[in-house]
Amino acid sequence: MGAVMKKIFFLFLAIPLLIHCQTNVWTQTNLNEGRFDAIAVNDSGDVFAGGLGRGFVYRSKDLGNNWTETTLPIAFAVISLEINFDGKIFVGTDYGIFVSSDNGLSYANIGLQAENISAILLLPDGLIYAGSLGNGIFRSADTGHVWIQTGPSNLRVSGMAIHPNGNIFATNYDGGVYRSDSGGNSWELVGLSGSSVRDITIDTNGKIYICTMITGSGQSGVFRSTDAGNTWDNFWPSPVYFAPHGGITINTLNHIFLGTYGGVYRSTGSPNWVLINSGLTDIVYAIDVGYDGIAYAGTYIQGIFRSISTISNFENENLLNHPLEFDLLQNYPNPFNPSTTIKYQLPEMSFVVIKVFDILGREVTTLVNEEKPAGSYEVQFTANGLSSGISARGGYASGIYFYQLKAGDYNETKKMILLK
Protein backbone atom coordinates (compact mmCIF):
# COMPACT_ATOMS: atom_id res chain seq x y z
CA MET A 1 0.00 0.00 0.00
CA GLY A 2 2.87 2.37 0.77
CA ALA A 3 4.30 2.01 -2.74
CA VAL A 4 0.90 2.57 -4.30
CA MET A 5 0.30 5.71 -2.28
CA LYS A 6 3.70 7.05 -3.34
CA LYS A 7 2.73 6.52 -6.98
CA ILE A 8 -0.53 8.37 -6.44
CA PHE A 9 1.28 11.25 -4.76
CA PHE A 10 3.75 11.41 -7.64
CA LEU A 11 0.94 11.52 -10.19
CA PHE A 12 -0.76 14.42 -8.49
CA LEU A 13 2.48 16.41 -8.44
CA ALA A 14 4.11 15.46 -11.73
CA ILE A 15 1.33 15.65 -14.31
CA PRO A 16 0.96 19.24 -15.58
CA LEU A 17 -2.79 19.69 -15.96
CA LEU A 18 -5.30 22.47 -15.66
CA ILE A 19 -6.95 21.88 -12.28
CA HIS A 20 -10.36 23.40 -11.63
CA CYS A 21 -10.56 24.14 -7.94
CA GLN A 22 -13.94 23.64 -6.39
CA THR A 23 -15.00 22.49 -2.95
CA ASN A 24 -16.90 19.23 -2.56
CA VAL A 25 -17.11 17.97 -6.09
CA TRP A 26 -17.62 14.43 -4.77
CA THR A 27 -19.36 12.90 -1.79
CA GLN A 28 -19.11 9.35 -0.52
CA THR A 29 -22.35 7.40 -0.79
CA ASN A 30 -23.68 5.11 1.92
CA LEU A 31 -22.05 2.18 0.13
CA ASN A 32 -18.81 3.36 1.67
CA GLU A 33 -16.40 0.43 1.80
CA GLY A 34 -14.99 -2.24 -0.46
CA ARG A 35 -13.73 -2.48 -4.03
CA PHE A 36 -16.01 -1.79 -7.00
CA ASP A 37 -14.87 -2.65 -10.53
CA ALA A 38 -18.12 -2.01 -12.42
CA ILE A 39 -20.82 0.69 -12.38
CA ALA A 40 -23.77 1.31 -14.69
CA VAL A 41 -26.56 3.90 -14.55
CA ASN A 42 -29.89 3.36 -16.32
CA ASP A 43 -32.09 5.97 -18.01
CA SER A 44 -34.06 6.50 -14.78
CA GLY A 45 -30.92 7.28 -12.78
CA ASP A 46 -30.84 3.94 -10.91
CA VAL A 47 -27.25 2.91 -10.14
CA PHE A 48 -25.91 -0.65 -10.24
CA ALA A 49 -22.48 -1.65 -8.94
CA GLY A 50 -20.35 -4.70 -8.23
CA GLY A 51 -16.75 -5.72 -7.75
CA LEU A 52 -14.08 -8.31 -7.13
CA GLY A 53 -14.75 -10.55 -4.15
CA ARG A 54 -18.40 -9.54 -4.10
CA GLY A 55 -20.95 -12.02 -5.45
CA PHE A 56 -23.60 -9.33 -5.30
CA VAL A 57 -25.01 -6.53 -7.40
CA TYR A 58 -25.92 -3.40 -5.47
CA ARG A 59 -28.68 -1.02 -6.56
CA SER A 60 -29.56 2.51 -5.51
CA LYS A 61 -32.64 4.41 -6.63
CA ASP A 62 -31.92 7.58 -4.63
CA LEU A 63 -28.48 8.88 -5.64
CA GLY A 64 -26.61 6.41 -3.47
CA ASN A 65 -28.30 7.26 -0.18
CA ASN A 66 -29.72 3.74 0.15
CA TRP A 67 -28.61 0.49 -1.47
CA THR A 68 -30.16 -2.94 -1.88
CA GLU A 69 -28.03 -6.06 -2.32
CA THR A 70 -28.94 -8.95 -4.64
CA THR A 71 -26.95 -12.18 -4.47
CA LEU A 72 -25.71 -13.77 -7.69
CA PRO A 73 -25.92 -17.58 -7.58
CA ILE A 74 -22.42 -19.13 -7.56
CA ALA A 75 -20.54 -16.06 -8.87
CA PHE A 76 -17.82 -14.60 -6.67
CA ALA A 77 -16.80 -11.47 -8.58
CA VAL A 78 -18.59 -8.84 -10.67
CA ILE A 79 -16.28 -7.68 -13.47
CA SER A 80 -18.54 -5.81 -15.90
CA LEU A 81 -22.01 -4.26 -16.02
CA GLU A 82 -24.14 -3.12 -18.97
CA ILE A 83 -27.79 -2.12 -19.44
CA ASN A 84 -29.61 -2.70 -22.73
CA PHE A 85 -32.24 -0.63 -24.52
CA ASP A 86 -35.06 -2.45 -22.72
CA GLY A 87 -33.57 -1.79 -19.29
CA LYS A 88 -32.30 -5.34 -18.72
CA ILE A 89 -29.12 -5.48 -16.63
CA PHE A 90 -26.30 -7.74 -17.82
CA VAL A 91 -23.56 -8.69 -15.36
CA GLY A 92 -20.21 -10.20 -16.35
CA THR A 93 -18.75 -12.35 -13.60
CA ASP A 94 -16.20 -15.07 -12.92
CA TYR A 95 -19.00 -17.54 -13.66
CA GLY A 96 -20.43 -16.28 -16.93
CA ILE A 97 -23.21 -13.75 -17.54
CA PHE A 98 -26.22 -13.01 -15.39
CA VAL A 99 -29.22 -10.94 -16.47
CA SER A 100 -32.01 -9.18 -14.61
CA SER A 101 -35.36 -8.36 -16.22
CA ASP A 102 -36.87 -6.80 -13.08
CA ASN A 103 -34.53 -3.84 -12.52
CA GLY A 104 -32.09 -5.72 -10.36
CA LEU A 105 -34.41 -7.58 -7.99
CA SER A 106 -33.25 -10.98 -9.27
CA TYR A 107 -30.65 -12.39 -11.67
CA ALA A 108 -30.42 -15.55 -13.78
CA ASN A 109 -27.37 -17.07 -15.43
CA ILE A 110 -27.55 -17.14 -19.25
CA GLY A 111 -24.42 -19.07 -20.05
CA LEU A 112 -20.63 -19.04 -20.40
CA GLN A 113 -20.28 -20.47 -16.89
CA ALA A 114 -16.66 -21.43 -17.52
CA GLU A 115 -15.64 -17.89 -18.46
CA ASN A 116 -14.54 -14.71 -16.68
CA ILE A 117 -16.61 -12.11 -18.55
CA SER A 118 -14.73 -8.83 -18.51
CA ALA A 119 -16.69 -6.92 -21.20
CA ILE A 120 -20.24 -6.98 -22.55
CA LEU A 121 -21.57 -5.29 -25.69
CA LEU A 122 -25.34 -5.10 -26.23
CA LEU A 123 -26.69 -4.13 -29.65
CA PRO A 124 -30.16 -2.75 -30.47
CA ASP A 125 -30.95 -5.77 -32.68
CA GLY A 126 -30.54 -8.11 -29.69
CA LEU A 127 -27.07 -9.43 -30.45
CA ILE A 128 -24.88 -9.89 -27.37
CA TYR A 129 -21.08 -9.95 -27.42
CA ALA A 130 -19.09 -11.08 -24.41
CA GLY A 131 -15.35 -10.63 -23.94
CA SER A 132 -13.55 -13.07 -21.67
CA LEU A 133 -10.24 -13.06 -19.82
CA GLY A 134 -8.29 -15.54 -21.93
CA ASN A 135 -10.71 -17.17 -24.37
CA GLY A 136 -11.55 -14.29 -26.67
CA ILE A 137 -15.00 -13.14 -27.72
CA PHE A 138 -18.36 -14.91 -27.70
CA ARG A 139 -21.59 -13.96 -29.49
CA SER A 140 -25.25 -14.84 -28.93
CA ALA A 141 -28.15 -14.13 -31.28
CA ASP A 142 -30.87 -15.58 -29.03
CA THR A 143 -30.62 -13.53 -25.81
CA GLY A 144 -27.90 -15.76 -24.39
CA HIS A 145 -29.25 -19.29 -24.83
CA VAL A 146 -26.61 -20.29 -27.39
CA TRP A 147 -23.10 -18.83 -27.63
CA ILE A 148 -20.46 -19.19 -30.32
CA GLN A 149 -16.82 -18.25 -30.05
CA THR A 150 -15.72 -15.62 -32.56
CA GLY A 151 -12.37 -14.04 -33.29
CA PRO A 152 -8.95 -14.76 -31.76
CA SER A 153 -9.42 -17.28 -28.96
CA ASN A 154 -6.48 -16.14 -26.84
CA LEU A 155 -7.56 -12.53 -26.21
CA ARG A 156 -7.86 -11.18 -22.68
CA VAL A 157 -10.61 -8.72 -23.51
CA SER A 158 -10.71 -5.50 -21.48
CA GLY A 159 -13.44 -3.57 -23.33
CA MET A 160 -15.84 -3.61 -26.28
CA ALA A 161 -17.73 -0.90 -28.20
CA ILE A 162 -19.59 -0.38 -31.46
CA HIS A 163 -18.84 2.38 -33.94
CA PRO A 164 -21.64 4.37 -35.66
CA ASN A 165 -20.59 2.69 -38.94
CA GLY A 166 -21.37 -0.74 -37.44
CA ASN A 167 -17.79 -1.87 -36.82
CA ILE A 168 -17.19 -3.65 -33.52
CA PHE A 169 -14.04 -2.94 -31.49
CA ALA A 170 -12.41 -5.01 -28.76
CA THR A 171 -9.38 -4.13 -26.65
CA ASN A 172 -6.84 -6.58 -25.26
CA TYR A 173 -5.09 -6.48 -21.89
CA ASP A 174 -2.04 -8.05 -23.49
CA GLY A 175 -1.86 -5.44 -26.23
CA GLY A 176 -3.79 -4.22 -29.22
CA VAL A 177 -7.10 -2.98 -30.54
CA TYR A 178 -9.13 -5.36 -32.70
CA ARG A 179 -11.85 -4.45 -35.21
CA SER A 180 -14.56 -6.46 -36.94
CA ASP A 181 -16.59 -5.21 -39.92
CA SER A 182 -18.43 -8.52 -40.25
CA GLY A 183 -20.46 -8.71 -37.06
CA GLY A 184 -17.67 -10.55 -35.28
CA ASN A 185 -17.08 -13.25 -37.90
CA SER A 186 -13.55 -11.99 -38.53
CA TRP A 187 -11.24 -9.60 -36.68
CA GLU A 188 -8.14 -7.58 -37.52
CA LEU A 189 -5.54 -5.95 -35.31
CA VAL A 190 -5.65 -2.20 -36.01
CA GLY A 191 -3.00 -0.84 -33.65
CA LEU A 192 -1.35 -0.44 -30.24
CA SER A 193 -0.11 -4.00 -30.02
CA GLY A 194 2.67 -2.95 -27.63
CA SER A 195 0.40 -1.39 -25.00
CA SER A 196 -1.90 -2.97 -22.46
CA VAL A 197 -5.26 -1.51 -23.49
CA ARG A 198 -7.56 -1.16 -20.47
CA ASP A 199 -10.84 0.23 -21.84
CA ILE A 200 -12.58 1.79 -24.86
CA THR A 201 -15.42 4.22 -25.54
CA ILE A 202 -16.78 5.77 -28.75
CA ASP A 203 -18.65 9.08 -28.97
CA THR A 204 -21.70 9.80 -31.12
CA ASN A 205 -19.50 11.26 -33.86
CA GLY A 206 -17.44 8.09 -34.18
CA LYS A 207 -14.32 9.27 -32.33
CA ILE A 208 -12.73 6.33 -30.52
CA TYR A 209 -10.91 6.77 -27.21
CA ILE A 210 -8.87 4.10 -25.43
CA CYS A 211 -6.77 4.15 -22.26
CA THR A 212 -3.52 2.21 -22.15
CA MET A 213 -0.73 1.16 -19.81
CA ILE A 214 2.83 0.89 -21.09
CA THR A 215 4.18 -2.61 -21.75
CA GLY A 216 7.49 -3.29 -23.50
CA SER A 217 7.91 -0.77 -26.31
CA GLY A 218 4.32 0.49 -26.07
CA GLN A 219 2.99 3.84 -24.91
CA SER A 220 0.70 4.86 -22.08
CA GLY A 221 -2.07 7.42 -21.85
CA VAL A 222 -5.17 8.05 -23.93
CA PHE A 223 -5.23 7.36 -27.67
CA ARG A 224 -7.83 8.57 -30.16
CA SER A 225 -8.90 7.53 -33.64
CA THR A 226 -11.03 9.77 -35.86
CA ASP A 227 -11.07 7.39 -38.85
CA ALA A 228 -12.72 4.26 -37.44
CA GLY A 229 -9.50 2.77 -36.10
CA ASN A 230 -7.27 3.09 -39.18
CA THR A 231 -4.88 5.47 -37.44
CA TRP A 232 -4.31 6.53 -33.83
CA ASP A 233 -2.93 9.67 -32.23
CA ASN A 234 -1.61 9.93 -28.69
CA PHE A 235 -4.38 12.17 -27.40
CA TRP A 236 -2.89 12.42 -23.91
CA PRO A 237 0.66 11.00 -23.57
CA SER A 238 0.60 10.87 -19.80
CA PRO A 239 1.97 8.29 -17.33
CA VAL A 240 -1.37 7.86 -15.55
CA TYR A 241 -2.20 4.54 -13.93
CA PHE A 242 -5.47 2.87 -14.89
CA ALA A 243 -7.21 0.17 -12.87
CA PRO A 244 -7.26 -3.42 -14.18
CA HIS A 245 -10.60 -2.94 -15.91
CA GLY A 246 -9.90 0.57 -17.12
CA GLY A 247 -12.29 3.39 -16.46
CA ILE A 248 -13.27 5.57 -19.41
CA THR A 249 -16.73 6.85 -20.27
CA ILE A 250 -18.48 9.61 -22.20
CA ASN A 251 -21.44 11.77 -21.20
CA THR A 252 -24.23 13.12 -23.40
CA LEU A 253 -22.07 16.11 -24.39
CA ASN A 254 -19.32 13.80 -25.70
CA HIS A 255 -17.05 14.81 -22.83
CA ILE A 256 -14.57 12.10 -21.84
CA PHE A 257 -14.05 11.00 -18.23
CA LEU A 258 -11.17 8.89 -16.93
CA GLY A 259 -11.07 6.97 -13.67
CA THR A 260 -7.42 6.58 -12.63
CA TYR A 261 -5.14 5.96 -9.67
CA GLY A 262 -4.85 9.74 -9.44
CA GLY A 263 -8.57 10.47 -9.48
CA VAL A 264 -11.01 11.58 -12.20
CA TYR A 265 -9.97 13.60 -15.25
CA ARG A 266 -12.21 15.19 -17.88
CA SER A 267 -11.76 16.46 -21.42
CA THR A 268 -14.35 18.26 -23.53
CA GLY A 269 -12.84 16.72 -26.66
CA SER A 270 -9.56 18.61 -26.70
CA PRO A 271 -6.18 17.49 -25.23
CA ASN A 272 -6.81 19.80 -22.25
CA TRP A 273 -7.58 17.60 -19.23
CA VAL A 274 -9.15 18.84 -16.01
CA LEU A 275 -8.70 17.10 -12.66
CA ILE A 276 -12.07 17.07 -10.87
CA ASN A 277 -11.12 15.42 -7.64
CA SER A 278 -12.16 17.43 -4.58
CA GLY A 279 -13.74 15.12 -2.03
CA LEU A 280 -12.56 11.94 -3.78
CA THR A 281 -10.15 10.14 -1.48
CA ASP A 282 -9.34 6.83 -3.17
CA ILE A 283 -8.16 5.17 -6.38
CA VAL A 284 -10.92 5.05 -9.01
CA TYR A 285 -11.60 1.63 -10.56
CA ALA A 286 -14.84 2.39 -12.44
CA ILE A 287 -16.81 5.44 -13.55
CA ASP A 288 -20.13 6.15 -15.22
CA VAL A 289 -22.23 9.26 -15.86
CA GLY A 290 -26.02 9.14 -15.92
CA TYR A 291 -28.13 10.95 -18.45
CA ASP A 292 -29.00 13.43 -15.68
CA GLY A 293 -25.31 14.40 -15.49
CA ILE A 294 -24.61 12.81 -12.10
CA ALA A 295 -21.31 10.89 -12.04
CA TYR A 296 -20.52 7.79 -9.97
CA ALA A 297 -17.05 6.45 -9.19
CA GLY A 298 -16.23 2.99 -7.88
CA THR A 299 -13.07 2.93 -5.78
CA TYR A 300 -10.46 0.49 -4.53
CA ILE A 301 -11.42 0.28 -0.84
CA GLN A 302 -13.86 3.12 -0.09
CA GLY A 303 -16.96 2.05 -2.00
CA ILE A 304 -18.93 4.37 -4.28
CA PHE A 305 -18.61 8.16 -4.61
CA ARG A 306 -21.11 10.46 -6.32
CA SER A 307 -20.77 13.93 -7.78
CA ILE A 308 -22.69 16.39 -5.63
CA SER A 309 -24.20 18.11 -8.67
CA THR A 310 -24.39 17.42 -12.37
CA ILE A 311 -21.22 17.18 -14.42
CA SER A 312 -21.90 20.51 -16.14
CA ASN A 313 -21.91 22.30 -12.78
CA PHE A 314 -18.35 21.37 -11.91
CA GLU A 315 -16.61 21.22 -15.24
CA ASN A 316 -14.19 23.96 -16.20
CA GLU A 317 -16.55 26.73 -17.27
CA ASN A 318 -14.22 28.24 -19.85
CA LEU A 319 -13.91 24.96 -21.77
CA LEU A 320 -17.58 24.06 -21.35
CA ASN A 321 -19.00 27.38 -22.48
CA HIS A 322 -16.54 27.85 -25.34
CA PRO A 323 -16.37 24.61 -27.35
CA LEU A 324 -13.45 24.20 -29.73
CA GLU A 325 -15.56 23.15 -32.74
CA PHE A 326 -19.08 23.02 -34.13
CA ASP A 327 -20.84 19.81 -33.16
CA LEU A 328 -24.31 18.33 -33.62
CA LEU A 329 -24.86 15.45 -31.21
CA GLN A 330 -27.08 12.42 -31.63
CA ASN A 331 -30.55 13.00 -30.22
CA TYR A 332 -31.57 11.25 -27.01
CA PRO A 333 -33.58 9.15 -26.54
CA ASN A 334 -33.43 7.51 -29.95
CA PRO A 335 -35.74 5.87 -30.93
CA PHE A 336 -38.25 8.19 -29.23
CA ASN A 337 -41.96 8.80 -28.66
CA PRO A 338 -43.08 11.54 -28.64
CA SER A 339 -40.19 13.80 -27.52
CA THR A 340 -36.42 13.81 -27.85
CA THR A 341 -33.58 16.23 -27.03
CA ILE A 342 -31.09 17.55 -29.59
CA LYS A 343 -27.81 19.01 -28.31
CA TYR A 344 -25.29 21.09 -30.24
CA GLN A 345 -22.17 23.20 -29.67
CA LEU A 346 -20.93 26.46 -31.17
CA PRO A 347 -17.30 27.65 -30.93
CA GLU A 348 -18.23 31.20 -31.98
CA MET A 349 -21.15 33.58 -32.42
CA SER A 350 -23.28 32.11 -35.22
CA PHE A 351 -26.68 32.37 -36.84
CA VAL A 352 -28.19 28.97 -36.08
CA VAL A 353 -30.91 27.15 -38.01
CA ILE A 354 -32.10 23.70 -36.94
CA LYS A 355 -34.80 22.03 -39.04
CA VAL A 356 -36.49 18.64 -39.06
CA PHE A 357 -37.32 16.77 -42.29
CA ASP A 358 -39.26 13.61 -43.01
CA ILE A 359 -37.98 10.63 -45.01
CA LEU A 360 -39.04 12.32 -48.29
CA GLY A 361 -37.03 15.44 -47.51
CA ARG A 362 -40.07 17.57 -46.69
CA GLU A 363 -39.54 20.14 -43.96
CA VAL A 364 -41.46 19.24 -40.81
CA THR A 365 -40.57 22.12 -38.49
CA THR A 366 -37.92 24.68 -37.58
CA LEU A 367 -36.60 24.30 -34.05
CA VAL A 368 -34.05 27.15 -33.98
CA ASN A 369 -33.73 30.22 -36.22
CA GLU A 370 -31.65 32.87 -34.46
CA GLU A 371 -28.16 34.14 -33.69
CA LYS A 372 -26.47 32.56 -30.66
CA PRO A 373 -23.14 33.12 -28.87
CA ALA A 374 -20.54 30.39 -28.44
CA GLY A 375 -21.68 27.67 -26.07
CA SER A 376 -23.42 24.33 -25.60
CA TYR A 377 -27.18 24.17 -26.22
CA GLU A 378 -30.10 21.80 -26.40
CA VAL A 379 -33.56 21.94 -27.95
CA GLN A 380 -36.50 19.57 -27.65
CA PHE A 381 -38.36 18.11 -30.62
CA THR A 382 -41.88 16.83 -29.98
CA ALA A 383 -43.61 14.84 -32.71
CA ASN A 384 -47.14 16.04 -32.02
CA GLY A 385 -49.39 18.34 -34.00
CA LEU A 386 -47.01 19.02 -36.88
CA SER A 387 -48.03 19.76 -40.44
CA SER A 388 -45.96 17.13 -42.24
CA GLY A 389 -45.58 13.38 -41.94
CA ILE A 390 -49.15 12.79 -40.77
CA SER A 391 -50.39 9.25 -41.18
CA ALA A 392 -53.77 8.30 -42.63
CA ARG A 393 -55.08 7.75 -39.10
CA GLY A 394 -54.35 11.34 -38.17
CA GLY A 395 -51.38 10.70 -35.89
CA TYR A 396 -47.76 11.61 -36.45
CA ALA A 397 -46.28 8.79 -38.55
CA SER A 398 -43.65 6.44 -37.16
CA GLY A 399 -40.46 6.23 -39.15
CA ILE A 400 -37.17 7.93 -39.94
CA TYR A 401 -36.71 11.69 -39.67
CA PHE A 402 -33.67 13.91 -40.12
CA TYR A 403 -32.55 16.97 -38.16
CA GLN A 404 -30.14 19.48 -39.66
CA LEU A 405 -27.92 22.12 -38.06
CA LYS A 406 -26.67 25.07 -40.13
CA ALA A 407 -24.35 27.55 -38.41
CA GLY A 408 -22.01 29.68 -40.50
CA ASP A 409 -20.26 27.32 -42.91
CA TYR A 410 -21.08 24.31 -40.75
CA ASN A 411 -23.82 21.98 -42.03
CA GLU A 412 -24.58 18.65 -40.36
CA THR A 413 -27.55 16.27 -40.61
CA LYS A 414 -28.36 13.29 -38.38
CA LYS A 415 -31.05 10.62 -38.40
CA MET A 416 -33.61 9.92 -35.67
CA ILE A 417 -36.42 7.38 -35.39
CA LEU A 418 -39.96 7.89 -34.11
CA LEU A 419 -41.54 4.67 -32.80
CA LYS A 420 -45.14 4.39 -31.71
pLDDT digits (tens, 9 = 90+) for 63-94: 999 999 999 988 789 999 999 989 999 999 99
In single-letter form, the type of residue at position 72 comes to L
Q: Are 296 and 45 in contact (CB under 8 A)?
A: no
Q: Are 169 and 155 in contact (CB under 8 A)?
A: no
**Residue-level pLDDT at 285:** 93
Q: Are 106 and 120 in contact (CB under 8 A)?
A: no
Q: Are 59 and 25 in contact (CB under 8 A)?
A: no
As its CATH architecture, domain 322-418 has: Sandwich (2.60)
Asked, colleague to colleague, whether 2-320 and 322-418 share their fold, the answer is no
**Residue-level pLDDT at 374:** 75
pLDDT digits (tens, 9 = 90+) for 110-159: 989 888 999 999 998 899 999 999 899 999 999 898 999 997 888 999 99
* pTM given for the model: 0.70
Long-range pairs for 211-219: beta carbons < 8 A, 24 or more residues apart: 211/240, 211/242, 211/246, 211/247, 211/248, 211/258, 212/242, 213/241, 213/242, 214/239, 215/174, 215/175, 216/175, 218/175, 218/192, 218/193, 218/194, 219/192, 219/194, 219/195
pLDDT of 195 over the 90 cut: no
Looking at CATH, the fold of the domain delimited by 2-320 is given as Methylamine Dehydrogenase; Chain H (2.130.10)
Report d(CA 212, CA 221) in Å as an integer: 5
Average pLDDT, the chain: 85
Q: What is the largest CA-CA distance in the chain?
A: 72
∠294-298-299 over CA atoms, to 5°? 135
**Residue-level pLDDT at 23:** 53
Distances (CA, A) of 348 to 203, 324, 371, 409: 22, 9, 10, 12
pLDDT digits (tens, 9 = 90+) for 15-47: 333 333 345 689 999 999 999 999 999 999 999
21 vs 252, higher pLDDT:
252
Quote the DSSP letter at residue 80.
E
pLDDT digits (tens, 9 = 90+) for 394-419: 456 889 999 999 998 999 999 999 98
Q: What is the distance between the terminal CA atoms of the chain, rounded to a whole angstrom? A: 55
| Beta strand pairing call for 284-289 and 274-275 | unpaired
**Residue-level pLDDT at 10:** 36
**Residue-level pLDDT at 214:** 62
Sequence spans of domains, the chain: 2-320, 322-418
pLDDT over 70, % of the chain: 86
